[in-house]
Amino acid sequence: MWKGVVTFLSFGKFMGGFFFHGWGGDGREEQLLEYVLENAERGNPQSVIQAVDEFARSGTWFMNVGEEKGRILDSSIAKKNPQLVLELGTYCGYSAVRMAANLKHPDSKLISLELTPHIADIARRIIDHAGLSSKVEVLLAPLSRQIDTIKSTLAKTNGQCFDFVFVDHDKDLYLPDYLLLKEKGLIDEGSVIFADNMGFPGSPKFWSYIQSHPQELETEVHKSAVEYISWIRDTVTVSTFHKL
């Protein structure tokens, strides 16, 4: 129980830092990197994932997708078996490692977008420690400013659109970025849109769109807990895109 209280206090402190910086701002990301480099086996993605979870469970909260929702993500990746993946919201690279480790195609690629250079550097080092740098490219700036770069990268893999999109960034951008992906042809029939934190803190506009467009977004709803705080409930949605 005491560890849970410490984690919740760490969560509150993080949210204060997030308001001002867009990340924790209290050194926790640097501490996580140091812990991973010292404790995770190099070239072993599962060891890296375990190290991040261990550090987060120790009382320092992180906005990773976490263990419970991570298993839902693993299952969705395995079911779709994508070649090309887009991640909106890299943070420290936990979900990128989790997804890239399960990409089976020889030419598979994961493009991940992060706004903060300092955090992107930490993510790249964690991804590299997991041995996945060849599969993952971390780009800076929002989706709206990376369309040409993304299309160029896809062209190098003989791809035109993403099979799987993991959405875990600014909740106000869930719907605009989804609509941008659709407008630019970066998703196609059968593409999967996995949206984290649809219950807490939630993305009302994207949720409303899902509910009002059931033929376009065929959606499964999964109830879960917030990462590393079991008594705060959350929801993830897994939607299959259909061209109408």
Catalytic positions: 168, 171, 196-197, 227
Q: Please, are residues 88 and 177 in contact by the beta-carbon 8 Å criterion?
A: yes
Residue 48: C-alpha distances to residues 16, 26, 115, 125 (Å): 27, 22, 23, 11
Q: What is the DSSP letter of 22?
A: S
Distance CA 198, CA 34 (A): 31
- Convert 6-15 to b/e letters by CB count within 10 Å (16 or more is b): ebbebbebbe
3-state SS, residue 23: coil
Name beta bridge partners: 242: none
